[in-house]
């Protein structure tokens, strides 16, 4: 069974640009969550999508947005990039049937903003 895949793996952008990251969950999983990982702040929750609906949202500015498609694939978009947006962006998928559901993480997209 294929794991969670994220594309691209590495991305370099300049300030002010926008970026779209993609996440393909494990087949059958309907929940996709996005996290930002930085050395200073650690892993922080961005948002979660379940059946194309945003279920939870973290404390990030409106420049960060996402969506989920009918096949459960998800994208996140960051507009007007800032230097501080440089981070590893991780997505995780799960069946989301209970609180102890396992979330399976992808390898992440390393975003560098110059």
Cite the beta strand spans of 53-113 per DSSP E: 53-57, 64-68, 74-78, 87-94, 104-105, 109-113
33 lines the binding site for another protein (CB under 8 A): yes
Distances (CA, A) of 27 to 14, 19, 36, 54, 70: 34, 25, 23, 19, 13
Binding-site member from 24, 26, 48, 68 for another protein (CB under 8 A): 48
In the complex, least distance from residue 44 CB atom to another protein, rounded to whole angstroms: 7
Nearer to another protein, 59 or 70 (CB): 59
Nearer to another protein, 15 or 55 (CB): 55
65 lines the binding site for another protein (CB under 8 A): no
β-bridge pairing 109-113 and 10-13:
parallel
* Chain residues that interact with another protein, rule: CB under 8 A: 4, 31, 33, 35, 42-45, 48, 50, 55-56, 58, 90, 92, 94, 96, 98-108
């Amino acid at each position: 069974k294929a794991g969670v895949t994220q594309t691209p793996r590495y991305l370099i952008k300049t300030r002010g640009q926008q970026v779209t990251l993609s996440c393909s969950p494990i087949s059958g999983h309907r929940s996709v969550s996005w996290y930002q990982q930085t050395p200073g702040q650690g892993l922080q929750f961005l948002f979660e999508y379940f059946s194309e609906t945003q279920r939870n949202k973290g404390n990030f500015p409106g420049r960060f947005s996402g969506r989920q498609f009918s096949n459960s694939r998800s994208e996140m978009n960051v507009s007007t990039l800032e230097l501080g947006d440089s981070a590893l962006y991780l997505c995780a998928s799960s069946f989301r049937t209970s609180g102890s559901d396992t979330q399976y993480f992808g390898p992440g997209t390393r975003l560098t903003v110059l």
